[in-house]
Chain A
C-alpha cells in the first residue's frame, strides 16, 4: 500500500516562531488532508489540499502532487497550536480510505 512519512516526528518551538511540517507519500494520490489532533484527542480538519496552496489565518499548506509531498506552514505559533499534526492521503476509488502518516508532535512553549 501507499506509504506516508511525516517529518520531523517531534518539534519544540517558542511562542511566536514559525515552522514547516513535511509529508512525503510514495504514490500518486487523489486527495490529501492535514489534521490537528488537540490534547483531548479530537482530530480537526485543517486543509483538504490534493494540489496547490491554501491559507487559513496563520496556517498555510502546499501540495506538489507531481513530486509527492506536502508542506504545512505554521507562522507566529501559539501555545494552542500544540498537538499532533497528521497528513493523510487517498489514492483513489469510491471507498475513500485514508492512509495516515505517524504525525508530528508539536510543542509550543510560552
Chain B
C-alpha cells in the first residue's frame, strides 16, 4: 500500500534561517506531489505542485521554493525565513485523476 511521510513534524526557526521540509511517498511511482500551507484561519493554500522529476509549478509568489530530485521525494525550502512563513505545511500526493492523500504535516514557527 502507498504511504506518505514528511518531516520534521515540528520546528522552531529564527528569522533569516534556512528551511528544509522533506516528503517521501512509498508504494507508487510517478505520483503528482503537492505542498500546501495552512495558516491561521484554516484555509489551505496550494504552494507548489509537481507532475514529475524536476517539474515544479508555483502557485503563489513567495519566499519558498520546491524541488523534486527523485520521483517520490518532494522538498520545500527557503534560504531565509520570514515571520510570515509560520504555519502548518502539508505534503500530499495523488495518482492522476484520483483521490489526494496528505502527510502528517509539519508545524513551523518562525521566531
Please tell me if B75 contacts chain A, counting CB pairs below 8 Å: no
Query: Is A19 positioned at the interface, with any CB of B under 8 Å from its CB?
Result: no
Tell me whether B97 and A96 are in contact (CB under 8 A): yes
Q: Which of A53-61, A70-78, A98-106 contacts B (4 or more CB under 8 A)?
A: A98-106
CB neighbours (8 Å) of A31 from chain B are 97-98
- The distance in angstroms between the C-alpha atoms of A105 and B41, with both chains bound, is 11
B17 at the interface (CB under 8 A from A): no
Q: List the B side residues contacting A100 at CB < 8 Å.
A: 43-44
Contacts of B101 in A (CB 8 A): 45
CB-based contact A103/B88 at 8 Å: no
Residues of B near A95 (CB, < 8 A) are: 32, 49, 51, 57
Q: Is the CB of A103 within 8 A of B102?
A: no
Residues of B within 8 A of A42 (CB): 102, 104-105
Q: Is the CB of A96 within 8 A of B44?
A: no
Taking a contact as CB atoms under 8 Å apart, the answer to whether A98 and B43 are in contact is no
B62 sits at the interface (CB 8 A): no
CA A84 – CA B43 in complex, angstroms?
10
Distance in Å: Cβ of B58 to nearest Cβ of chain A: 12
Interchain CA distance A43-B100 in the complex, whole Å: 10
Closest to B42 in A: A103
Q: Which residue of chain A has its CB nearest to the CB of B45?
A: A100
Structural contact, B105 and A103, CB atoms closer than 8 A: no
1/0 per residue B68-111: CB within 8 Å of A?
00000000000000000000101000101111111011010000
Question: Given A41-B107, A45-B101, A103-B42, is A96 in contact with B96 using a C-beta cutoff of 8 Å?
Answer: yes
Among all A-B residue pairs, the 5 with the closest Cβ atoms: A43-B102, A100-B44, A48-B99, A41-B105, A103-B42
Q: Which residues of B does A touch, CB under 8 Å?
A: 32, 34, 38, 41-44, 46, 49, 51, 57, 59, 88, 90, 94, 96-102, 104-105, 107
Interfacial residues, chain A to chain B (CB-CB below 8 A): 30-31, 33, 35, 41-43, 45, 48, 84, 86, 88, 94-100, 102-103, 105
